[in-house]
Homo-oligomer: A and B are copies of this chain.
């Protein structure tokens, strides 16, 4: 896979600014939370939550192997989940968006590492207190379970992408995923803002940055998109791109 340029692993020593015990104040735009949790549930969670503010990308949230004392929930911003391999590679298991859960542990330790990719606000729940809360509020627990199921879906989609698609379709599929997130997509211009480097995309798609660049070039030649800068693309016709991913050669 890839060599190791600075931007990819660089977990700065910066610590996030801890705001306070404040959870889901009304007013702000909190995409998925309001759909899943009633305000009463939010209030109960608020009693044990801490909101962490990550001022920049590249800050470690937790690391593989650490004792797990917290569960996290993204409020705003984007987080990258990765794992360290003995050979030095660092595959990206997924990108986490507002409303996504992270820090699911196994045997009391974190399995993956998480770093902020952008500025981010993230709720943090002490595991022991969360456990008690979930036991006393079965409906809230059911909503948590729904979130974990959502993570499972994301993972299964990725298994199909990695197992079935070539590099060009992998990238196309990834761009369509990004398009789902309002934070990145200006529907008026069709412009998509990518918050991650080619290295991150490559590590997520199981390929090399060079191959990602070539895949971009291929899609551009095919008239699917236009690169306006390394971090922004204009998707000409997303539906055609989706058809292309589903197997129609020319969309």
Give A contacts to B, CB under 8 Å. 1, 83, 85-87, 89, 91, 93, 104, 106, 111-112, 131, 134-139, 141-142, 144-145, 148-149, 151-153, 155-156, 158-160, 162-164, 204-206, 246-247
Contact = CB atoms under 8 A, between A and B. Distances in A.
Contacts of A85: 160, 164, 247
A106 B151 CA distance: 12
Number of copies: 2
Given A141-B142, A152-B104, A153-B111, A164 B91 contact: yes
Contact of A152 (B87, B91, B152): B152
A85 B104 CA distance: 30
B91 A163 contact: yes
A131 B142 CA distance: 9
Contacts of A144: 145
Contacts of A155: 152, 155-156, 158-159
Contact of A205 (B93, B112, B163): B163
A15 to B, nearest CB: 27
A142 B135 contact: yes
A155 B162 CA distance: 12
A93 B135 contact: no
Contacts of A163: 91, 162, 204-206
A106 B149 CA distance: 9
A149 B204 CA distance: 21
Contacts of A138: 134-138, 141
A106 B153 CA distance: 9
Nearest to A85: B164
A135 B140 CA distance: 10
B86 A246 contact: yes
Contacts of A131: 142
Contact of A162 (B106, B134, B159): B159
